[in-house]
């Protein structure tokens, strides 16, 4: 009985707080817009409408995340009885359970996490390095056939090729790269769209550093690894970070090519499929805990580096 009163009290407090925040934010925003000098009344009205659009969108996202978090702390039965109320008991243990209960074909959550790490990190590092190499060589060296190859690469980047998945799938299988960390070989291509970014970056770099280092007796590889690459580090880090996030969230490629080594994205998908028919402990609420845990690394990365991402991603890609 006491728990019921407490729960209603918490729910009431939550609603009041939500009401105040929901009311205050648009009011403060619109007042600030109204006070802007050198702005016509029409412009103020349009800006206020856009502000409200942002606010409604923000509420929908924050509510969705909060709702998922709230339900990740419930028991399964409680979730199906009432999806809207706060948990009667805050079952943070669901987050511990996620590590043991979420599994597919004998691969548990931790193994999926490890698969996600090597797949996303390995792909990001290899792809970024390959693009750094190709961009640098094409920007700073002259060699036979360079112009023709360069133009051809640009053509392939611009060419809208559709549906190469069947062919890629067959080639990956025939090379024995599927269901193996060797699949990372496919990330070694240095002529994707990031080539344009690394090429433009190295092209804009002064040759003086290279020439001074050559006079001092540095080898070509020392110049690349010790002088040029460190200068490109911020730009490469941004490319790598976005690539890591993309691969962490990628579910289609690992589902086809790494079916026996599920990453978090594919493992959780397969677990959710299985969960529909599951009984007992494999609950929806533990699944919610699992998807929030899987989101945590990318959210933390973006929190830590969002300034860098926002600053570095500009027209045509990423600047240094």
Partner 1 sequence: MQMKKHYLNEKRRSNIFVFLMLLIPVVHFIIFWFGVNFNSLRLAFTSIDLTSGTTSFSLDHFKTLGNLFKTGEIRMALVNTLLTWALNMFLVPWALFLSYFLYKKIPLGGMWKTLLFLPSILPAIAMTSIFRYMIEPDGPVGQLIHALTGEDISNLLAFNTTAKWTVLAYIFWTNFGGQFILFSGAMAKIPKGMLEAANLDGAGLGSEFFKVVLPLCWPTTSMILILNISTLFTASGPLLLLTKGMGETRTLSYWIFEHVQGSTTLGLPAALGIACTLVLFPIVMIAKWLLNKVYADVEF
Q: Does 122 bind partner 1 (CB under 8 A)?
A: no
Please state whether beta strands 317-318 and 313-314 pair in parallel, antiparallel, or not at all (unpaired). antiparallel
With H, G, I as helix, E, B as strand and everything else as coil, classify residue 251.
coil
Q: Is 205 in the site for partner 1 (CB under 8 A)?
A: no
Angle at 115 between CA 112 and CA 121, to 5 degrees: 135
Cβ-based neighbours of 255, under 8 Å, separated by 6 or more: 266, 269
Query: Site for partner 1 (CB under 8 A): which residue of 168, 196, 205, 227?
Result: 168
Residue 63 CA to residue 56 CA, distance in Å, equals 10
DSSP string, 120-165: HHHHHHHHHHHHHHHHHHHHH---TTHHHHHHHHHHHHHS-----H
Q: Kindly state the number of chain residues that form the binding site for partner 1, as judged by CB under 8 A.
A: 93
Q: Which two tokens stand for residue 264?
A: 């978090």
**85 binds partner 1, rule: CB under 8 A:** no
Tell me which of 4, 106, 163, 280 binds partner 1, using CB under 8 A.
163
Under the binding rule (CB under 8 A), the answer on residue 190 touching partner 1 is yes
Nearer to partner 1, 6 or 252 (CB): 252
Query: Binding of partner 1 at residue 165 (CB under 8 A)?
Result: yes
Q: Half-sphere exposure of residue 111, counting CA atoms within 13 Å on the CB side?
A: 13
222 binds partner 1 (CB under 8 A): no
Shortest approach of partner 1 to residue 14 CB, angstroms?
14
The Cα-based distances of 118 to 253, 260, 304 in angstroms read 14, 15, 21
For 192, list phi and psi in degrees, rounded to 5.
Answer: -85, -170
SS3 assignment, position 73: coil
Closest approach, Cβ 19 to partner 1, in A, equals 16
Among 95, 99, 169, 209, binds partner 1 (CB under 8 A): 169
Enclosing H/E stretch for 256: helix 252-257
Q: Which stretch binds partner 1 (CB under 8 A): 10-18, 107-115, 156-164, 231-239?
A: 156-164
Residues 254-313 that bind partner 1 (CB under 8 A): 255-256, 264-265, 268-269, 272, 284, 287-288, 291-292, 294-295, 298-299, 302, 306, 309-310, 313
Of 111 and 309, the one with the shorter C-beta distance to partner 1 is: 309
**Binding to partner 1, residues 10-69 (CB under 8 A):** 25, 28-29, 32-33, 38, 40, 42-43, 46-47, 50-51, 53-54, 57-58, 60-65, 67-68
Cβ distance to partner 1 smaller for residue 22 or 219: 219
**Residue 6 or 165 having the CB closest to partner 1:** 165
Q: Are 298 and 246 in contact (CB under 8 A)?
A: no
Q: Which of 186, 227, 229, 308 binds partner 1 (CB under 8 A)?
A: 186
Rounded CA separation 25/19 (Å): 10
Applying CB under 8 A, does 170 fall inside the site for partner 1? yes
Does position 212 bind partner 1 by CB under 8 A?
A: no
């Amino acid at each position: 009985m006491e728990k019921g009163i407490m729960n209603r009290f918490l729910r009431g407090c939550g609603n009041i707080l939500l009401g105040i925040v929901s009311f205050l934010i648009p009011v403060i925003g619109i007042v600030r817009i109204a006070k802007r000098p050198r702005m016509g009344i029409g412009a103020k009205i349009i800006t206020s409408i856009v502000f409200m659009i942002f606010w409604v969108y923000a509420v929908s996202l924050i509510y969705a995340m909060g709702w998922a978090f709230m339900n990740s702390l419930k028991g399964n039965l409680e979730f199906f009885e009432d999806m809207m109320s706060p948990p009667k008991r805050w079952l943070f243990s669901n987050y511990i359970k996620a590590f043991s209960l979420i599994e597919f074909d004998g691969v548990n959550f931790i193994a999926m996490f490890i698969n996600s790490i090597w797949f996303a990190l390995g792909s990001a590092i290899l792809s970024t390095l390959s693009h750094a190499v190709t961009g640098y060589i094409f920007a700073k060296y002259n060699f036979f056939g360079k112009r023709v190859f360069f133009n051809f690469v640009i053509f392939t980047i611009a060419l809208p090729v559709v549906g190469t998945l069947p062919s890629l799938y067959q080639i990956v299988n025939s090379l024995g790269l599927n269901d193996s960390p060797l699949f990372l070989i496919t990330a070694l291509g240095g002529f994707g769209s990031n080539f344009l970014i690394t090429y433009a970056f190295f092209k804009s770099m002064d040759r003086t550093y290279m020439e001074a280092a050559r006079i001092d007796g540095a080898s070509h590889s020392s110049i690349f690894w010790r002088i040029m690459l460190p200068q490109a580090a911020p730009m490469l880090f941004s490319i790598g970070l976005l690539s890591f996030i993309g691969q962490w969230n990628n579910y289609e490629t690992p589902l086809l090519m790494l079916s026996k080594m599920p990453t978090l994205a594919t493992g959780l998908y397969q677990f959710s499929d299985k969960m529909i028919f599951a009984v007992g402990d494999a609950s929806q609420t533990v699944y919610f805990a699992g998807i929030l845990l899987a989101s945590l690394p990318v959210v933390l990365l973006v929190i830590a580096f969002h300034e860098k991402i926002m600053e570095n991603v500009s027209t045509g890609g990423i600047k240094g």
